[in-house]
Amino acid sequence: MKDLFIIIVSAVLIHNIILSQFLGVCPFLGVSKKLSSALGMGAAVTFVMVLASTITWIIQHFVLAYYEIEYLQTIAFILVIASLVQFVEMVIRKFSPALYKSLGVYLPLITTNCAVLGVAILNVQTEYTFVEGLFNSVGNALGFTLALVLFAGIRERLELADIPASLQGLPIALITAALMSMAFLGFTGLL
C-alpha cells in the first residue's frame, strides 16, 4: 500500500509528466487559455490515459511477450491508442451527448498526445505490475490535469497583464511554465 502511495505522489508532484518529463507539452500550451477547457482536456486525458495504459499493459504481457514480438511495441501501442480514442468518442457520443459536447473537441487530439503513449511505454519499461502500472497512470493523469489547470489559471491572469510585445503569447507562456517547473523541482526532496 505504501509503495502505491509513493508511486502516485511521485507521478503527480516529483516527476510531473509535463513539468519534468516534457510529455504532452503541445496540449499544455494549446488548450490552457481558459480554465474550463483545461478541465475538459484534463478529464479526457485522464480517462484515455488510464484506459490505454491498462489495455497496453495487457497486450504487452499476454500478446507481445507471449509470442516474443516485443519489437512491435510502438506500432501495437499507437494502434491501440488510436482505435481506443475513436471507440471512446463513439461510446460517449451515444450514451452521454452532454459529456461529448464538452469533451468532443479534445478527444481526437489525444491520439497524438505523447503523454498517453509515453505513460504506456514507461509502465512497461519500468516493469510495473498491473496494479502499480494502474496507479502510475492515474498519478500521471492527475499530474497532467493539475499542471494544466494551474497553468490555465495563471494564463487567464496573464491576459490582463502588460507584457512587452515580443514576449506576448507563447514566449511568456513558456517562461511561466519554466517558473512552475522550478516550483515543482522543490518537491524533489519530498520522498
Partner 1 sequence: MSLGKEFTKGIIRENPLFRLTLGLCPSLAVTTSVENGLGMGAAFSAVLLASNITIALLRKIIPDSIRIPSFIVIIATFVTLIEMIMHAFAPDLFKSLGIYIPLIVVNCVILGRAEAFASKNSLMPSIMDGLGMGLGFTLALVIISAFREILGAGTFYGIPLFGASANPALIMILPPGGFITMGIILALMNKFQHDAK
Q: Which has the closest alpha carbon to 177: 147, 156, 145? A: 147
Taking residues 117 to 156 in sequence order and writing x for each that binds partner 1 by CB under 8 A, - otherwise, the string is xx--xx--x-------------------------------
Q: Which has the closest alpha carbon to 43: 98, 125, 118? A: 98
Q: Which is nearer to partner 1, 43 or 78 (CB)?
A: 78
Q: Is 62 in the site for partner 1 (CB under 8 A)?
A: no
Q: Which is nearer to partner 1, 58 or 79 (CB)?
A: 79
Q: Which is nearer to partner 1, 61 or 99 (CB)?
A: 61
Q: Which residues contact 42 (CB under 8 A, 6 or more apart)?
A: 141, 144, 145, 148, 149
Judged by CB under 8 A, the stretch of 16-24, 56-64, 130-138, 152-160 that binds partner 1 is 16-24
d(CA 81, CA 112): 9
Burial 95-123 (b: 16+ CB within 10 A, else e): eeeeebebbeebbebbbebbbbbbbbbbb
Q: Which is nearer to partner 1, 29 or 35 (CB)?
A: 29
Residues making contact with partner 1 (CB under 8 A)? 19-26, 29, 71-75, 78-79, 82, 111-114, 117-118, 121-122, 125, 165-168, 170-175, 177-179, 181-182, 185
